[in-house]
Amino acid sequence: MAEQTGLEGIVIDWSDDKQAFHVPWGKAMMWIFLLSDTFIFSCFLIGYMNVRITTTVPWPNPSEVFALSFGGEPIPLILIAIMTFVLITSSGTMALAVNYGYRRDKKKTVLLMLATAALGAMFVGMQAFEWTKLIVDEGVRPWGNPMGAAQFGSTFFMITGFHGMHVSAGVIYLIVTATRVGTGYYDRHRGGNYEMVEITGLYWHFVDLVWVFIFAFFYLW
Amino acid sequence: MAYVALADRDHEQHLHDPQTFVTKYIWSQDHKVIAIQYSLTAIAVGLVALGLSLIMRLQLGFPDTFSFISPDEYYQAITMHGMIMVIYLLTALLLGGFGNYLIPLMCGARDMVFPFMNMVSYWVYLLSVIVLCASFFISGGPTGAGWTLYPPQVILPGTPGNNGGIVLMLLSLVLFIVAFTMGGLNYVTTVLQARCRGMTLMRMPLSVWGIFVATILGLLAFPALLVTGIMLLLDSVLGTSFFMPALLSMGEVSEHSGGSPILFQHLFWFFGHPEVYIVALPAFGVISDLVAVHARKNIFGYRMMVWAILAIGIISFIVWAHHMYVSGMNPYFGFFFATTTLIIAIPTALKVYNWVLTLWRGDIHLTVPMLFVIGFIFTFINGGITGLFLGNVAVDMPLSDTYFVIGHFHMVMGVSPILVIFGAIYHWYPKITGRMLNDRLGRIHFWLTLFGTYAIYLPMHYLGILGLPRRYYAMGDTSFIPDSAQAMNAGISIAAFFVAAVQLIFLFNLFWSRTRGKPSGGNPWKATTLEWQTPQTPPVHGNWGPDLPVVYRWAYDFSVPGASQDYIPQTMAPEDVPTDPGSSYDGGEGEHS
């Protein structure tokens, strides 16, 4: 079938019978879900920006709050930098997994997906460390903290918690899909079609992309 | 890459094959059974909300005669009535009920694309209803903050249900949104990706267009409610201050500080206004199909109808702050939102004109569904015009929070969609059960309901202009309200009891006709759309027998000149169309306008 691009392609797709996008059902559904999820995170971030403006108490300085001391010298945002690096790296391994999935290279696909899941779990682990440090050592609570505006803790725990839940769900999702690739489930039931790997990848890249925004708006602002 | 259209891989969609009663009717993955489960649950919880409104009317109409509810219980009744009617009845019935039933049948699909997820959607919805109704039975009762749940009062002491009721309400809303998302993703993907051969987007019946766009609105608007719900839940359970400013409550400084109540209003109405169109657009779509079938005429301006639905859907996201004119926001904001509000009236008015123009010179059959169509068009114009008053900032200010607002939104968002739902049930009941609803009872039901609802809501506009404030338990001896207002209030209450009683006729009809109704045959209204062309009535699991239908024309080939019958089903190929002798008509698709 001849591929039409640009506006003409869109018109042909949308006036077609049977399907508007030439993609599997699951992939179309994942795109729509991610669009909906984008609105959820946008609302969270807009709510955060709004209370940061309305609160009457000064906002704590993120580079001080999120600093870790090595050998007596505090390094600002060092943990967040490592977490971000880990999550971006996991996007790279995921992209490779999708590529090997299309080549039907079962072993490499499974290994790369499990590596992605391991990096994701590492991210969640570091987030747990960060939460523990804030709660136990620095006395930050959702309803207040010693450094300044109470909304700092409220928005921090709410937004990073909601994102962390997305990452955790993604890790489980990755392990399930990898297991199904590994045990030949898709070879038996989907005619050897590994499109689920790509659908899982879409979700994973989305979770990474959201983190970039949280990182920019919460830690760098 | 070699490419096989996915919709052609029919054999790959493994439909589960239900054997026992439990898998067929309880844990069912069939979209038709799920639709009926959704509808019955929504109607049941809607009857609870109807009961609450009767309790309120009893109090308002005869404040000195009856005294069995306290002011607190009155607030709880208005809150639960509003929330149930808007979310758990209208949204669930129009999208979960009609959406589930009609989308696969009208698009020529065997089921939703992910039937299991569709089933889970219903059960989570049922759970959300149970959680909501559980708040009636906890100590303190349900929340009494009004259905908009405005902070700070929603979680302050003095508001009924400020501890337990509000938590259950918010949890129930979160569950509802989860359920809606699972269903909504299915509806949108099914419409986009699983239509049968020949069914292009521009051949779809307008019912599907309305439900489709409404579902997209839901998927983009409910996230705002989800976030609002989570933040309010944290405010009330953990003591955070997203929406709570520092304030003095009952002589004590509250523990909150620095939050923004206006943020809540913005987030809530960013959901709340599209929600109006989530209810309205499916109703618009269904009305378009009903009017064409029962006037035996192609819908006037099909393409413009589709574009109007899309335009309304887009504009509905930039009008939300017209609910907040009195919140003290910047007047320039008010100007902007008043302008967009009036702009959205243009595509809406276009749809009304097109319904009327479809009726014009049509072969109007005054069947029960057609009566409801005409009732809807009248009521919707009525409610729409009062909307123009409230959309203007200067006129809205004095009318805000009066009975004028109550009258307006009950006309436009209460009575109008309910009339559509009734019309749609009378129209599609034969397909769902194989039997007609009783015609005589249907006519009695229609006329009494129509005049009864006008007797309720028209006087409310006068009460509003008098300045009668809404959400008051009793007016007492307020000096600016004349005594005659109380007489009118009593009259409204009597009309409300009457209308509620009339609905028993409808419920009786539903159950009686299930077994005793006249057998309908497969296509009693001589309609063109796919759901009337199924091999069995009611359609069996899988809908279409061994082969999927093929569509040759749009959904509105009624009274085509030269054809010998006044309707041509979408599945009829041009060469099969019987034509009048001597006519030059070749059986092709009628003209889209």
Q: Are B193 and A25 a contacting pair at CB < 8 A?
A: yes
Whether pLDDT at B56 is above 60: yes
Which among A17, A18, A51 is the nearest to B259, CB-wise? Answer: A51
Classify residue A9: in a domain, yes or no. no
Evaluate the omega torsion of the peptide bond into residue B538 and state whether it is cis, within 30 degrees of 0.
yes
The string of pLDDT tens digits covering residues B363-395 is 999 999 999 999 999 999 999 999 999 999 999
Classify residue A6: in a domain, yes or no. no
Whether pLDDT at B11 is above 80: no
The string of pLDDT tens digits covering residues B312-336 is 999 999 999 999 999 988 889 999 9
Six token digits for residue A185: 């489930």
State whether residue A40 sits within 8 Å of chain B by CB: yes
**Nearest-neighbour CA in chain B from A70: distance (Å):** 33
Cα A27 to Cα A32, A198, A201, A203, B2: the distances in Å are: 9, 8, 10, 10, 18
**Nearest-neighbour CA in chain A from B482: distance (Å):** 43
Considering only residues 262 to 301 of chain B, which have any Cβ-Cβ distance to chain A shorter than 8 Å?
A: 263, 267, 270
| Chain B residues with beta carbon closer than 8 angstroms to that of A56 | 246, 257-258
From CA B508, how far away is CA A175, in angstroms rounded?
53
State whether residue B331 sits within 8 Å of chain A by CB: no
Considering only residues 154 to 173 of chain B, which have any Cβ-Cβ distance to chain A shorter than 8 Å?
A: none
**Nearest-neighbour CA in chain A from B439: distance (Å):** 38
- What amino acid is encoded at A86 in this protein? V
From CA B466, how far away is CA B483, in angstroms rounded?
11
> What is the per-residue pLDDT for B592?
64
> What is the per-residue pLDDT for A11?
76
Whether pLDDT at B9 is above 70: no
Q: Are B240 and A150 a contacting pair at CB < 8 A?
A: yes
Least Cα distance to B502 among B460, B441, B425 occurs for: B441
From CA B63, how far away is CA B69, in angstroms rounded?
10
The string of pLDDT tens digits covering residues B412-439 is 999 999 999 999 999 999 999 999 999 9
* Number of domains into which chain A is organized: 1
B5 compared with B238, residue with greater pLDDT: B238
Classify residue A114: in a domain, yes or no. yes
**Nearest-neighbour CA in chain A from B192: distance (Å):** 5
B494 compared with A186, residue with greater pLDDT: B494
Which of B181, B213, B227, B320 is best to mutate for the A interface (most A CBs within 10 A)?
Answer: B227
Half-sphere exposure of B347 (CA within 13 A, CB side): 22
Which among B193, B234, B258 is the nearest to A55, CB-wise? Answer: B258
Over residues B5-21, the mean pLDDT reads 54
Over residues B127-152, the mean pLDDT reads 95
From CA A13, how far away is CA B191, in angstroms rounded?
14
Q: Are A43 and B224 a contacting pair at CB < 8 A?
A: yes
| Chain A residues with beta carbon closer than 8 angstroms to that of B3 | 1, 22
- What amino acid is encoded at A215 in this protein? F
- Which residue stretches of chain A have pLDDT < 50? 1
Six token digits for residue A124: 């969640």
> What is the per-residue pLDDT for B511?
95
Average the pLDDT over each of B23-27, B281-285, B378-382, B392-396 and give the range with the smallest value. B23-27
Q: Are B494 and B61 in contact (CB under 8 A)?
A: yes
| Chain A residues with beta carbon closer than 8 angstroms to that of B228 | 43
For B270, name the nearest residue in chain A, comparing CA atoms only: A43
Q: CA B285, B222, B174: angle at the middle one, nearest 5? A: 125
Whether pLDDT at B480 is above 90: no
Which among B3, B201, B258 is the nearest to A150, CB-wise? Answer: B258
What dihedral do alpha carbons B207, B212, B217, B218 form, nearest 10°?
100
Name, in order, each residue with C-beta under 8 angstroms of A171's C-beta and a sequence gap of 6 or more: A117, A120, A121, A124
State whether residue A51 sits within 8 Å of chain B by CB: yes
Classify residue A7: in a domain, yes or no. no
SS3 B236: helix
Pairing state between β B252-253 and A73-75: unpaired
Range of the domain at A33: 22-219
Q: Are A25 and B189 a contacting pair at CB < 8 A?
A: yes
Which among A15, A23, A29 is the nearest to B200, CB-wise? Answer: A15
pLDDT band at residue B6 using 50, 70 and 90 as cut-offs? very low
Which among B186, B198, B201 is the nearest to A14, CB-wise? Answer: B201
State whether residue B212 sits within 8 Å of chain A by CB: no
The string of pLDDT tens digits covering residues B515-525 is 999 999 999 99
Classify residue A88: in a domain, yes or no. yes
Classify residue A90: in a domain, yes or no. yes
Classify residue A84: in a domain, yes or no. yes
Q: Are A47 and B219 a contacting pair at CB < 8 A?
A: no
Classify residue A8: in a domain, yes or no. no
> What is the per-residue pLDDT for A4?
66
- What amino acid is encoded at B212 in this protein? F
State the complex-level ipTM. Answer: 0.93
**CATH number reported for the structural domain that contains residue A36 in this entry:** 1.20.120.80
Over residues B438-462, the mean pLDDT reads 97
Which among B201, B226, B245 is the nearest to A40, CB-wise? Answer: B226
